Amino acid sequence: MSIVQTTERPIPLKLRILSAVRLAISTVARFFFTLYYGKEGQKIPPITDDILKQPAIEVARKIRNKEITSVEVLEACIRRIKDVNSALNCFVEDRFELGLKEAREADELIRGGTLTPAALEAEKPLLGVPFTTKDCIAVKGLHHTAGVVLRKDVIAEEDSQAVKLLREKGAIIIGLTNVPELCMWWETHNHIHGRSNNPYNTTRIVGGSSGGEGCLQGAAGSIFGIGSDIGGSIRMPAFFNGIFGHKPSRGVVSNQGQYPIAATPLHDSFLGIGPMTRHAVDLKPILKIISGENSSKLNLDKPVDVGKLKVYYQFSNNAPLVDPVDPDIVAAMKQVVEFLNVQHKIKAEEKKFHILKRSSAIWLATMKNTKKFGEFIMEKSSVGIILWEIIKNLIGLSGNTLIGLFTALFDYGGVEVGDERYKHYLKVRENLELTFKEMLGDDGVFLYPTHPTPAPYHNEPLVRPMNFSYTSIINCLGLPATTVPLGLGKEGLPIGIQVIANHNNDRLCLAVAEELDKAFGGWTEPHKC
C-alpha cells in the first residue's frame, strides 16, 4: 500500500491564476527571445579526431595496447577545446602543460613493459585518459571559484576526493569548466567567466550547474567529465547537451573538495558527484572509481538482466508553475516503453504520483539554510543591500548575476528552518521516499522526464524558474538517476529522459542506459544536427 496519497487535490485558485500569468509571460517572452536570437546560432567545427568519438574505456584500451599514445589523445582534446571554446565559452582554465607531462609519463610506463596491458587495466584502468571537471570541484593548483566573484583569486590547495581517486587510476585532469554563480541556477553564467553556449545551438543554454562540463562533453572536448548534482546539476546539463549523466545514490561518492560545502547532513545527502560521458558504457567504470571504498555497496559488477526489471513511468508532474512536457519528450518516452515491451517483454506500468506536483516546494523548503544565500556571494547581505545591487546589476555595475541576487532576495521569505512548514515538508519528503522505495524494491526502475523542454534560449529560465522540479525531487529522495539522450527533437536540440532506481541500485540505471544507448543511438555529434 502506497504511503503517499495518490488522489489528486484541487489546485487552489490563487495558484491557478499565478500559473496562468506565468504561462502567459513565458509565452510572450519566447516570442521576443525568438525575434532577438533567431533560430540558429554560431556553428561549431566538426570533430576531426576520431579518438574523441570513442568511449573512455576504448581510449584507455588503445593507450595501454600502444595503438595510440596518451600524448596524442591529450593533444586531440587540446585542439578540440581551442576549436570550439570561442563559440561555446565552456572551458575556463587549462592544465595543459602539466597534463602533457603526465601523459608522457604514462606513455613511458607503458613502453617500459614492466606491467602487462592486463596488469595496467587492473591497476590503472584509465591510464593516460584526459578528463575535465567543473569549477567547484577542487583541482590542486587551479582556481576554485564556483563562479563567485569574491572567490576569483582562490586556488585549490589539494584535489577533491573524486579527482584524487581518478588520478590514482591513471586519468589526467586537463582543466576546468564553467558554472553558474555559486552553482545554484540552471543556466551557466557568472561574472568571472561569462555565459556558456549550447553546442547544438549557441543561442540556447547549457544547463547548470555542471553546464560547462555538459557542454564540453557534448562538443567532445575531453574524453569524459565529472560534475556534481544537488537539484539536477548533472542531469539537466547532460539532457541539454545530449550526453549521459549519472547522479549516484546518496552518500556513495565523497563530496570532499566541493564548494559550496553542504550546510547540513540532509543537504549533503542531496548532493553527489557523478560521471558525465558521451557513451553509457563509461558510466559504470568511472562510478566504480570515484565511489572508492563505497563501491562495494553498489555491486556494480553484479549482472543485470534488463528483461527481468519492473519498469514504471510517468509522463509529467503536471505542476502548475512548470511548463508542460514537450511532445517530443513524451513521444520519446513512449518509444522507450514500446521498445522494452517488444525487445524484453516488459509491461511497463504508468504511474500518476500527484504529490510530484509539489516537487519544487519540497526541494526549496528542505534546501533552506540558516545562512542566507546572499552571505555566500556578497561581502554584506541584507534586503536593502540586495535591492541596491539589483539596480547596479541592471546598469552593468554588479559583480553578481541577476538570478543570484533574486535568489538572495527570495531567501528572506518562505519557509524558515525549524518552523512548522519546514517540518511538514520534511515529513512529506520522508513519506515520498518511502513510497519510491516500496515501489522500486531491488528490481525496479522509474522512467521520468529530466526536464519538460529542450534547452531554452539564454535568460529564458528567468521566466520558467520551476522547470528544474523534475530533477530536484530525486535529490530530495537520495535516489540514483541517469539521464539518457534519445536523439534530437524538432528544434534540432537534444531530448531524453532520466532512469531512476532504489538506493544503491545504481547498476540498474546504468544497465538500462546502456540498453537504450544501443537501441536509440545515444549521443549525436553536434555538427550533424
Is residue 6 in a domain? no
Q: In terms of Cα–Cα distance, which of 238, 230, 180 is closest to 209? A: 180
Domain total of the chain = 1
**Quick one: how far is CA 304 from the chain centroid?**
24
Is residue 403 in a domain? no
d(CA 391, CA 335): 48
Asked whether the predicted pLDDT for residue 12 surpasses 90, the reply is: no
Per residue in 176-223, pLDDT (tens digit) is: 999 999 999 999 999 999 999 999 999 999 999 999 999 999 999 999
Banded pLDDT at 4 (limits 50, 70, 90):
low
Q: Is 78:70 a contact under the CB 8 Å cutoff?
A: no
Phi, psi at 522, each rounded to 5°: 60, -135
Given 134, 169, 247, 357, the catalytic residue = 134
Residue bearing cell 557523478: 274
Is residue 433 in a domain? yes
How, if at all, do strands 494-501 and 224-229 pair?
Answer: unpaired
Here the CATH number for the domain that contains residue 309 is 3.90.1300.10
Banded pLDDT at 529 (limits 50, 70, 90):
very low
Is residue 27 in a domain? no
| Structural domain boundaries, residue 521 | 54-368+415-528
Which residues pair with residue 277 across a beta bridge?
A: 244
Per residue in 142-181, pLDDT (tens digit) is: 999 999 999 999 999 999 999 999 999 999 999 999 999 9
Please provide the distance, in angstroms rounded to a whole number, between the alpha carbons at the two ends of the chain.
46
Does residue 134 carry a catalytic annotation?
yes
Is residue 9 in a domain? no
d(CA 524, CA 516): 14
pTM: 0.97
Q: Can you read off the three cell numbers belonging to residue 220?
A: 567532445
Is residue 42 in a domain? no
Per residue in 374-411, pLDDT (tens digit) is: 999 999 999 999 999 999 999 999 999 999 999 999 99
Is residue 407 in a domain? no
Query: Residue 210: enclosing H or E segment and its boundaries?
Result: none
Other beta carbons within 10 Å of 141? 14
CA distances from 114 to 63, 139, 251, 428 (A): 15, 30, 37, 57
Asked whether the predicted pLDDT for residue 5 surpasses 70, the reply is: no
Query: Residue 506: enclosing H or E segment and its boundaries?
Result: helix 506-520
d(CA 47, CA 269): 38
Is residue 193 in a domain? yes
Phi, psi at 340, each rounded to 5°: -65, -30
Q: Can you read off the three cell numbers belonging to residue 233?
A: 546539476
Given 26, 70, 196, 209, the catalytic residue = 209
Asked whether the predicted pLDDT for residue 437 surpasses 90, the reply is: yes
Q: Is 417:365 a contact under the CB 8 Å cutoff?
A: no
Does residue 209 carry a catalytic annotation?
yes
Residue 490, SS3?
A: coil
Given 26, 70, 222, 233, the catalytic residue = 233
CA distances from 141 to 95, 149, 339 (A): 9, 18, 48
Does residue 233 carry a catalytic annotation?
yes
Other beta carbons within 10 Å of 345? 8
